[in-house]
């Protein structure tokens, strides 16, 4: 009887944990998140200066920062998660550009601002139709 009770308890725990893990499907960034990301990118929120090196439209500034609108990713794999990591940690030794990228774009970004900026940067090379 004790074994049966333990199995029942374990099955219930798995079912409860499974329901938390399932969660809603990822629907991509919201318009509000993209608007926040745009504000972070352009230095209006958080003090980051992404646009100085990557240009106001993300096409890059020659000799300073790479183009974020194309499909070539130099310091990330192009996923939102990898872009978040680059924004959070910076790039101490860029592969093709002379200037390092400071962590958080030189600003004081919160986690939600980093996520929004990553979603915005991702959207530059993945425009919606």
Q: What digits encode the pLDDT tens for the residues 64-117?
A: 899 999 999 999 999 999 999 999 999 999 988 888 999 999 999 999 999 999
CATH number at residue 96: 1.10.760.10
Question: How much is the average pLDDT of 14-35?
Answer: 61
> Within a domain: residue 19?
no
Whether pLDDT at 16 is above 80: no
Q: Which long-range contacts (CB under 8 A, 24 or more apart) does 27-32 make?
A: 28/119, 29/116, 29/119, 29/120, 29/122, 29/123
Total domain count, the chain? 1
Could you tell me the pTM of the whole model?
Answer: 0.77
The residue segments making up the domain with residue 43 are 30-125
- Of the pLDDT bands very low, low, confident and very high (cuts 50, 70, 90), residue 41 is very high
């Amino acid at each position: 009887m004790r074994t049966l009770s333990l199995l029942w308890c374990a099955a219930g725990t798995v079912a409860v944990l499974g329901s938390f893990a399932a969660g809603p499907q990822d629907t991509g960034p919201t318009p509000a998140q993209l608007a926040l990301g745009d504000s972070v990118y352009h230095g209006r929120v958080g003090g980051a200066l992404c646009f100085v090196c990557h240009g106001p439209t993300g096409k890059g500034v020659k000799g300073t920062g790479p183009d974020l609108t194309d499909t070539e990713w130099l310091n990330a794999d192009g996923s939102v998660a990898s872009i978040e990591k680059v924004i959070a940690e910076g790039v101490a030794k860029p592969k093709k550009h002379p200037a390092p990228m400071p962590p958080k774009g030189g600003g004081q970004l919160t986690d939600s601002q980093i996520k929004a900026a990553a979603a915005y940067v991702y959207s530059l090379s993945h425009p919606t139709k």
